[in-house]
A and B are shown apart, each in its own frame.
Chain A
Amino acid sequence: MTEVNTLPSHRILIAKPGLDGHDRGAKIIVRALRDAGFEVIYTGIRQTPEMIARTALQEDVEAVGLSLLSGAHMTLFPRVVDLMKKQGLGGVLVFGGGIIPDEDVAALKKKGVAGVFGPGTPTDAIVAFLRERLDAAPKAAKGSRAKR
């Protein structure tokens, strides 16, 4: 058994709420985040907000990325945010992507979706967003990122 000194990296959950089965975008994000040094958990397609919130709790992730192409983002994204808050996961960063009309972005941000990344976003921009938000959290506070 050999061992190298690898520091823990940020844990991110990528989830596909709702009924659309198109997860090429989600897979690209999973791959890009993995290659950027994150530990990435992927739920697979067709998840309910309840399943996503429960998974975020069990996996104790620092961020949840939601991908949706069906148009139900205004219902499902805030529902995930609310369920997470109810479980004491209000400190977990939620971001989203997919086919999101520009005019919905401000409303989503108001409802707790911290970043929205549409088609054509360079994956580097998402990595930079996560690094900025997650690296900034002081190590001591990391253990209490979920206030519980």
Chain B
Amino acid sequence: MPSAKDVRELAARVRRGDRAAAARALSIVTEERPGHEALAGAFFSDHGASHTVGLCGSPGSGKSSLVNRLVTRLRAAGETVGVLAVDPTSAFTGGAFLGDRMRFQAHSLDDGVFMRSLATRGMMGGLNATIFAAIHVLEACGFSKVLVETVGTGQDEVDVAEVVDTVVCVSAPYQGDEFQAMKAGTMEIGDVFAVNKADLPEVERAVAMLKDALSLNPLHDGGWAPRIAPVSALTGKGVAELAADIDAHRAHLASSGELESRRRRQLRRELSLVLSRRLYRDAMARVTDRHIDLLAAKKSSPQSLGGTLLAGRK
């Protein structure tokens, strides 16, 4: 267990921009190693230091390739960028192939860029339970933008909207007709809709369908009309415009007062994640074979036992 002094020292090194310290801190908070709560607590004060941008979209829509292009653009504009890329953990083996890095190696030697791959480890909704703490580490390390690439889970992947300031939904041509665009889910959370693979001939139809569907939506919080950005991660066309849309959204958040309400929503979400994690872990730690015996003999019910265990009794 690291001492309070260790935690302070590591946090101070991260705040000085030490990349090795940031890598180490990320491991401690995301793997919930001993001392992770103290460390995550130390970084919490950096919440809100960076503009956080989430990218979501179905598998293969080109999120990683687009992140790669966006980072090039952001760097040219003088920004520094931290990237968290989430890929799925196997429910069967606990293993994971974290493949987002492959699209990103052009930036691996740039000191203004830091990328970390994360596995979902059983969390549904496209994000990892410890995502907030990971974001705070990168905020503390001084990156002006933090990009969070969610696992490509599809229609129901809306958690990211409560984690970041700006949500970019990535889609591509040939992903369905206008009725797909009318469904609830990710279509409701996008601040910017990137239609990737704009080098394909069907892109105009995809943009038109998206426009149609979004025109029926009520205006987003604070009067923001979601932007639609056709973009090609393959050729780089449209990346500058996409970056401009993302920055326009950030400016809108500040001028409309929406930033404060989004940040409050993030705080509520972070607190709820910490609570559910702790309650679950603490209650599960009290479960013994005796409880299962009680259930098998029908002498108690999961509901009744659950109440007892949650109340801290055995």
Contacts of A5 in B (CB 8 A): 122, 280-281, 284
Q: Is the CB–CB distance between B108 and A55 below 8 Å? A: yes
| Binding-face segment, B93-101, B206-214, B241-249, B250-258 | B93-101
Q: What is the interface size of chain A, counting residues whose CB is below 8 A from a CB of the partner? A: 41
Interface of B is mostly: mixed
Interface flag for A4 (CB, 8 Å):
yes
B308 interface hit (Cβ, 8 Å): no
Shortest distance in angstroms between A133's beta carbon and chain B's nearest beta carbon? Answer: 17
Check A54–B122 contact: CB distance below 8 A.
no
Q: B208 → chain A, closest Cβ, in Å?
A: 34
Q: CB of A76 within 8 A of chain B?
A: no
Asked if A88 is an interface residue, CB under 8 A from chain B, the answer is: yes
> Among B90, B97, B102, B123, which residue has its beta carbon within 8 angstroms of that of A43?
B102
Does A103 lie at the interface of the complex (its beta carbon under 8 Å from any beta carbon of B)?
no
**Total interface residues on B, using CB and 8 Å?**
47
Indicate if A47 sits at the interface (CB-CB under 8 A). Answer: yes
Residues of B with C-beta under 8 A to A148: 20-21, 24
From A4, A44, A51, A58, name the one whose CB has the most chain B CB atoms within 10 angstroms: A58
Instruction: Tell whether, in the assembled complex, residue A51 and residue B109 are in contact, meaning their CB atoms are under 8 Å apart.
Output: yes
The answer to whether A39 touches B119, judged by C-beta atoms less than 8 angstroms apart, is: yes
Contacts of A40 in B (CB 8 A): 95-98
Partner of A36, one of B23, B34, B95: B95
- What would be 5 A-B contacts, judged by CB atoms less than 8 Å apart? A2-B124, A35-B93, A36-B95, A60-B24, A142-B33
Give the A-binding residues of B (Cβ under 8 A). 2, 19-21, 23-24, 26-28, 30-34, 89-91, 93-99, 101-103, 105, 108-109, 114-117, 119, 121-125, 129, 159, 276-277, 280-281, 284
Q: A: which residues have CB within 8 A of B?
A: 1-9, 30-31, 33-44, 47-48, 50-51, 54-55, 57-60, 87-88, 139-140, 142-143, 146, 148
